[in-house]
């Protein structure tokens, strides 16, 4: 595990950058030894663990936005990126969670915290401790999530996705754009979107925008 106090050139999905102020947010990378077949499992493990950790530390439970964001409402709270090395037998899952600072339009865990959590002894500590407290809770939750079998992990991940049932716009790497209803994910976490002609598309990689209901 590698934890950063701040970053100025963090790498996000689709080569986007991810920045964070010093000491304000959780920024870490976790290495898991695994086979290439099991590598996709670990993004789901970490996302569910981060979600549960937010609930235990701040009293708020973010939802997941496909493929790899944590959101409060429609505001981004955090994101994940997994990079696998098949020849070396490991996957690195990087995660950033906005604990005390966020760019305009994004959410922070401290702003979303429930009054009860703010009054607790844990939440009354110095704000600079908050990212480490979130990390500690997340590591405990990872241990629990690792005990889930594939069927249980898929079910919990599916239930946490706010994308399902929403009308979405999917922008794909090669420039294609798909608009339709996000209906489900398969066991490989690929998104199934039914377009306005009734055709179902299976999406491996793409940038999803939640659209307002018409």
Do 133 and 64 form a contact (C-beta atoms < 8 A)? Answer: no
Contact 47/157 with Cβ under 8 angstroms? Answer: yes
Rounded to whole angstroms, the Cα distance separating 202 from 35 reads 24
The CATH code belonging to domain 2-160 is 3.30.930.10
Distance of alpha carbon 201 from alpha carbon 79, whole angstroms:
24
Give the count of alpha carbons within 13 A of 137, CB side only: 20
Q: Which fold has domain 167-210?
A: SH3 type barrels. (2.30.30)
Under 8 Å between Cβ of 184 and 198: no
For CATH 2.30.30.100, the residue range(s) in the chain are 167-210
| Parts of the chain belonging to CATH 3.30.930.10 | 2-160
The answer to whether the beta carbons of residues 184 and 66 sit under 8 Å apart is no
pLDDT (0 to 100) of residue 41: 95
Q: Which residues contact 5 (CB under 8 A, 6 or more apart)?
A: 22, 23, 27
Map residue 96 onto helix, strand or coil.
strand
Supply the pLDDT for residue 64: 98
Decide: 113 and 59 in contact? Cβ < 8 Å. Answer: yes
171 membership: H or E segment, kind and range: strand 167-171
At residue 200, the pLDDT reads 97
Give residue 124's pLDDT: 42
Q: Which residues of the chain have pLDDT under 70?
A: 9-19, 114-128, 214
CA distance 71 to 51: 10
pTM (2 d.p.): 0.88
């Amino acid at each position: 595990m590698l934890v950063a106090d701040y970053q100025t050139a963090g790498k996000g999905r689709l080569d986007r950058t991810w920045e964070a102020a010093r000491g304000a947010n959780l920024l870490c990378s976790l290495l898991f030894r695994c086979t290439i077949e099991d590598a996709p499992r670990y993004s789901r493990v970490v996302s569910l663990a981060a979600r549960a950790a937010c609930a235990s530390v701040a009293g708020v439970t973010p939802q997941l936005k496909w493929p790899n964001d944590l959101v409060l409402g429609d505001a981004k709270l955090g994101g994940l990126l997994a990079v696998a090395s098949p020849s070396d037998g490991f996957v690195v899952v990087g995660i950033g969670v906005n604990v005390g600072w966020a760019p305009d339009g994004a959410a922070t865990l401290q702003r979303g915290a429930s009054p009860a959590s703010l009054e607790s002894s844990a939440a009354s500590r110095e704000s600079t401790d908050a990212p480490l407290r979130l990390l500690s809770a997340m590591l405990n939750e990872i241990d629990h999530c690792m005990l889930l079998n594939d069927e249980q992990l898929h079910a919990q991940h599916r239930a946490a996705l706010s994308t399902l049932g929403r009308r979405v716009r999917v922008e794909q790497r090669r420039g294609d754009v798909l608009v339709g209803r996000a209906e489900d994910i398969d066991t490989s976490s690929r998104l199934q979107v039914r377009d306005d002609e009734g055709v179902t598309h299976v999406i491996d990689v793409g940038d999803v925008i939640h659209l307002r209901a018409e």
